[in-house]
Structure formats: C-alpha cells, structure tokens
Amino acid sequence: MFSLLQSVAVTDSLGSSPIMAVAEDLKSGNVDWVDVLQQLMHWALGAGRHILVAVVVYFVGRYVVKFLNYLLNQMLDRRKVEPTVSTFLKSFVNILLQVLLIVTVVSALGVNTTSFAALLASFGVAIGMALSGNLQNFAGGIIILFLKPYKVGDWIEAQGVSGSVQAIQIFHTILMTVDGRQIYVPNGLMSSGSITNFTHTPTRMTEWTIGIEYGEDTGRARQVVLDLLAADERILKEPAPVVWVKELGSSSVDLMIRAWTVNDDYWQVMFEVRERIYASFNAEDISFPFMQVTVHQAD
C-alpha cells in the first residue's frame, strides 16, 4: 500500500500534498487513520473540482471551436475565397483549434502546462519522426495551394485514379469518381507525381474512331460526318473538325474524327455524336463492318 501511494504521489498533479503526507506517515509508522481519511477526502474534493472544471471547459470549448469554425466559413464565403484555399484553411484551423482545446482541458485538470508543453514537444518530435509521411503530405498541400496544378472542381487523373476534386485538405486531396466513390490521395504524392488536368483549359478535344466496310466511299462518309458536326452548336468552329482515314484494319477502314467543344459539354458530345454518326451512316447506307474470317479449303 505504501509503494502504491508513493507512486501516486510522484505522478499526481491534482493536489499532491495530501498524498505525500499520507505516504510519509505510512513510512514512519505513525499513522492516524482519521487524519489519513481527512487528507484523502481533501484530495478527492480537490481532484473532483479539477475534473469538473475540465469537463465544463471541454464542452464549452467544443462549442467555441464549432462557433469559430462557423465564423471562419462565413468569412471565407463573404470574401469569396476560392474553394481550393478555403478547404485547406478550414481543415488546418480546425485541427489547430482541437489541439488548443486539448491543451486547455489538460491545464484545467491542474497539470503544469509548462511541463506538459515540454512533454508535448517531446512527443511531437517522436510522432513527427514516426509520421514523416504525413509531414510530407502537409508540405505537399502547401505546394499544391501555391502552385495550383489543380483546384476544387477540376477533373484530374493522378496516381492511377481519376475524378473530380472535391476538397484539398492538409494531408489529402479528395477525388470523387464518376461512379460516386471518394478517393483520398496523399498530397505528398500529388505534389511530386504527374497530374493530368482535363479541365484546366476551357475547351477540350473529342475523338472518335468509326469503322466502315471496305469498298465504301471514304469521301462520302467523311462529308456525312462533317455535315453532322457542323449542325451541332456544341462543336466549335475553330479549331475546325477533321475526319481522316486512321487505319486500314483487318476487316474495316477506320475513320478518326476529331472535334473541339467546351468542357461542360464534353461528355454529352462524346456519347451523343457517336450515336448520331451511327444513325446517319444507316440513313446514307454506309455499311459498318463485321468480323469476317475467310477459310480456304485445300483440294
């Protein structure tokens, strides 16, 4: 019992003098149990007061953190800060406020904040060494914020995945794929790897490959496609659409069609024009090829 109380006396920070006194009495053998109980009760009351204050500080602090985050959001919205910077600042400030809340709660428990700060710094060094990758991700987020290879809303392809940028946080970039999946890509990889930004420029080239049968008039097929593209208001006049013979395949003559459109219309143009080409070729009796195999029978 003496060793237990002595160890508590060394580590306790919620009013340690009563515990020290009890430990000294037990060591000397001169124990007044009434006095021991009084001192323990005094210590328990002091500890309970600190714990109660810490609980109140925690719940009030949570409300304050939420309110400050709300004020930050309102300020960023009023100033019309671009979403790329806004999401990064929101994530950074929220983590900083949470750390300050923890320090405040520990201080309310009666722990010496100077010692706690030194201990926190030591832990910070150890954690920083263990989480060096996250530090690289943080630095990567800063690089992305300033160099702006992409921003929120851009459609990008990087690290083997593609999607729309939903947010740039302090450690990760969040991508939303076309099928509704959220992918968290570390900022360190994003800042040091190759990135394809499909929406950085306002226009984008659309390309189709359409096969027709051997023997069909490629000039007539080309004109049908050009007339179809000219009638579509979403297709830009400059650069002008082009239709070339791309390849003489094993069973078809492949036409390569290229046209430019604005980014917002890209996917609709991609699928709708292909369907219209199919309908126009059928209307003009331009045949599509089928896979054919010619077998020669030996005599």
pLDDT in tens, 8-65: 333 444 444 555 555 555 555 555 555 656 666 666 666 677 777 778 888 888 888 8
Examine residue 85 and state whether it is found in any structural domain, yes or no: yes
CATH of the domain at 176: 2.30.30.60
Examine residue 157 and state whether it is found in any structural domain, yes or no: yes
Model pLDDT for residues 192-218, shown as the tens digit of each residue: 888 999 888 889 999 999 999 998 999
Determine how many CB atoms are found less than 10 A away from the CB of residue 241.
21
**261 with 203: CB under 8 angstroms?**
yes
Examine residue 137 and state whether it is found in any structural domain, yes or no: no
Q: Same domain, yes or no, for 81 and 119?
A: yes
Residue 3 has pLDDT above 60, yes or no: no
Examine residue 296 and state whether it is found in any structural domain, yes or no: no
The residue ranking higher by pLDDT, 218 or 92, is 218
Examine residue 155 and state whether it is found in any structural domain, yes or no: yes
Q: Same domain, yes or no, for 53 and 85?
A: yes
Q: How many domains does the chain have?
A: 3
Q: Same domain, yes or no, for 211 and 166?
A: no
Nearest residue to 160 via CA among 195, 198, 136, 201: 195
Q: Same domain, yes or no, for 35 and 97?
A: yes
Model pLDDT for residues 234-280, shown as the tens digit of each residue: 999 999 999 999 999 888 899 999 999 998 899 899 999 999 999 99
What pLDDT is stored for residue 9 in this prediction?
39
What pLDDT is stored for residue 235 in this prediction?
94
**282 with 222: CB under 8 angstroms?**
no
Give φ, ψ of 165 to 5 degrees. Answer: -70, 115
Q: What is the pTM of this model?
A: 0.55
Q: Same domain, yes or no, for 114 and 36?
A: yes
Q: Which domain holds residue 263?
A: 203-283
Q: Same domain, yes or no, for 93 and 25?
A: yes
**150 with 197: CB under 8 angstroms?**
yes
Of the residues 94, 126, 158, the one at which a domain ends: 126
3-state helix, strand, coil in the chain (%, to 5): 55, 15, 25
What pLDDT is stored for residue 8 in this prediction?
37
Its sign, for the CA torsion 99, 101, 107, 109, is negative
Q: Same domain, yes or no, for 48 and 28?
A: yes
Examine residue 133 and state whether it is found in any structural domain, yes or no: no
Q: Same domain, yes or no, for 30 and 60?
A: yes
Of the residues 159, 177, 197, the one at which a domain ends: 197
Q: Same domain, yes or no, for 250 and 267?
A: yes
What pLDDT is stored for residue 117 in this prediction?
63
Of the residues 197, 225, 259, the one at which a domain ends: 197
Q: Same domain, yes or no, for 152 and 208?
A: no
Q: Same domain, yes or no, for 119 and 164?
A: no
CA angle 12, 14, 20 (to 5 degrees): 55
Q: DSSP strand E in the chain: where?
A: 155-158, 161-168, 172-176, 182-186, 195-197, 203-212, 242-248, 253-262
Average pLDDT on 150-163 reads: 89
Nearest residue to 84 via CA among 181, 160, 174, 163: 174
Q: Which residues pair with 212 in a beta bridge?
A: 253
Rounded to whole angstroms, the Cα distance separating 290 from 116 reads 77
Q: DSSP strand E in 75-221: where?
A: 155-158, 161-168, 172-176, 182-186, 195-197, 203-212
CATH of the domain at 244: 3.30.70.100
Examine residue 242 and state whether it is found in any structural domain, yes or no: yes
Q: Same domain, yes or no, for 33 and 18?
A: yes
Examine residue 156 and state whether it is found in any structural domain, yes or no: yes
